[in-house]
Amino acid sequence: MNARSVSSVSLNLLRLMLQVNFNASVLFLLIASVLSMAGSELFFDNSSDLYGPLANNLRLVLLYLCLVQLAVYGFYQMSNNYAAVVFLGAFLLILILSLEFYCTVNQIEIDPNYRQLLLYAGLSHVLYGGICILPKNGG
């Protein structure tokens, strides 16, 4: 019985840490996207090979990403639907591959910080949503 309570406390602590990290990743993703859309190069170096329509395409994707993040986060908060969080995390991870394809097709280099941001946010979403989908009673 004691081992079960220790396990339960450990799982609850892990859930809490993943929730804090998830919320931090949401905020970081939104802040980095908004600043980048506004032309700031604090997080991403957008001046290297991106110009004209290519730079606007990436900014438009960031705008869509912000809107999707806000919609999913709002849905998750209202309905406690952790599956939506997992699916958005998987989408963010797949977006890394899409970004690689975009770079190859357009023969440009994009700041690697985009990949790191998507990896961090995607893993944060998948891990937090995944652990919350697990039954809370451990069985």
pLDDT grade for 71, boundaries at 50, 70 and 90: very high
117 and 32 Cβ atoms separated by less than 8 Å: yes
Rounded Cα gap, residues 23 and 109, in angstroms: 30
Residue 45 Rama label (left phi>0; alpha psi -120 to 50; beta): beta
Q: Give a yes or no: residue 139 inside a domain.
A: no
* pTM, full prediction: 0.82
Domain count, the chain: 1
Query: Domain range for residue 74?
Result: 2-133
pLDDT in tens, 117-137: 899 999 999 999 999 987 754
- Residue 24 is assigned to a structural domain of this protein: yes
Whether residue 70 lies inside any domain: the answer is yes
Instruction: Note whether residue 64 is domain-resident.
Output: yes
Confirm if 46 and 55 have CB atoms less than 8 A apart: yes
